Amino acid sequence: MKIAAFEVRPDEKASFAYWSKEYQVELLEYTEVPTLENAGLVAGCEGVTMLGQGTIDRALLSKYRELGVKCLSTRTIGSDHIDLEAAKELGILVCNASYAPDAVADFTIMMMLMCLRQYKQAFWRGYVNDFSLAGLQGKNMRAMTIGVMGTGRIGQQVIRDLQGFGCRILAYDVYQNAEVAKMAEYVDIDTFYRECDIITLHMPLLPSTHHMINRESIAKMKKGVILVNCARGGLTDTEALIEGIESMQIGALGMDTAEGEEGIIHCDRRSDIIANRNWFYLHQFRNVIMTQHMAFYTEQSVDSMVQCGVEGLVKMAEEGSYKTMLNK
């Protein structure tokens, strides 16, 4: 089987070498984002794997099908960059990645602690030899009511990890989980917003969850709430976040992902003029921590993502199914 891998990073190369040998596939590696202009690179390939910087729309999928592509894998959990309906209509099978939730859960709790302890200010002030304490007083995690919005695999792991802090944990999800209910209290959304000191998001980005955190929902939250988003940027309305910070309704933000990050994150843009005013305006606040969509980024997770990318294509091509297939 011949497959094309796009957006291949240096840290993925060893894993690609291992898993392509393990599954006896011929691998074509490209650093480029998949586009209609470079679609010819997949000629003769049955499968294509990519990350999430490109837009895999109907036009590109049609071209891939014309060139003989039968299956597609994204080495990410999120799949909103792929037109799944078009893929299904064209007969292209699609799967996403699956990896242990520990990496994102660890990062999420780190974000909570950094927001609680004024880490951004302390870090930068130390760089200019300002070792004063004024403005750096934090809060104890144990004293917080922490809300986990979305109790899938990652949300559940965050809740498990929070057990050791002794804090009160609330949960919200349209589908309640019996195991989660043993560790956290499920409440309705208004109670969730009203009572949580910290809210962390762990939902997929769907039409129903797009901009779920907006002016109206922020207004229902506790004054000074801390929001953490290590899930999908589109869950939050950036303008509403800016207004929340400026009015001090939001006490701090910990964001590993933000709407409009495509073309910014995972790139060195130091010498560039970047046309995303809201993203950078939000970035400059003293109580906003923004990282480069790296919560997933551990050795173990990267290897699992590449494994799913290769294994998923092989299984879908040979068996017509895979454990993470999205358009059954």
Positions marked active-site: 232, 261, 293
Return the half-sphere exposure (C-beta side, CA atoms, 13 A cut-off) of residue 117. 11
Q: Which residues contact 254 (CB under 8 A, 6 or more apart)?
A: 111, 112, 114, 115, 226, 227, 228, 229, 230, 289
Distance, CA of 76 to CA of 79 (rounded, Å): 7
- The helix/strand/coil state of 186 is strand
Judged on CB neighbours under 10 Å (0-12, 13-18, 19+), 235 is buried
Other C-beta atoms lying within 10 Å of the C-beta of residue 21: 11
Consecutive H or E run containing 21: helix 13-22
Backbone φ, ψ for residue 71 (5° rounding) = -150, 155
Bridge pairing between strands 2-5 and 26-29: parallel
Handedness of CA 301, 179, 150, 78 (dihedral sign): positive
Distance, CA of 170 to CA of 149 (rounded, Å): 9
Backbone φ, ψ for residue 182 (5° rounding) = -80, -20
- The helix/strand/coil state of 93 is strand
Nearest to 155 by CA among 235, 239, 81: 235
Distance, CA of 70 to CA of 189 (rounded, Å): 42
Here the tokens at position 14 are: 């060893």
Distance, CA of 138 to CA of 127 (rounded, Å): 20
Other C-beta atoms lying within 10 Å of the C-beta of residue 56: 25
Distance, CA of 258 to CA of 238 (rounded, Å): 8
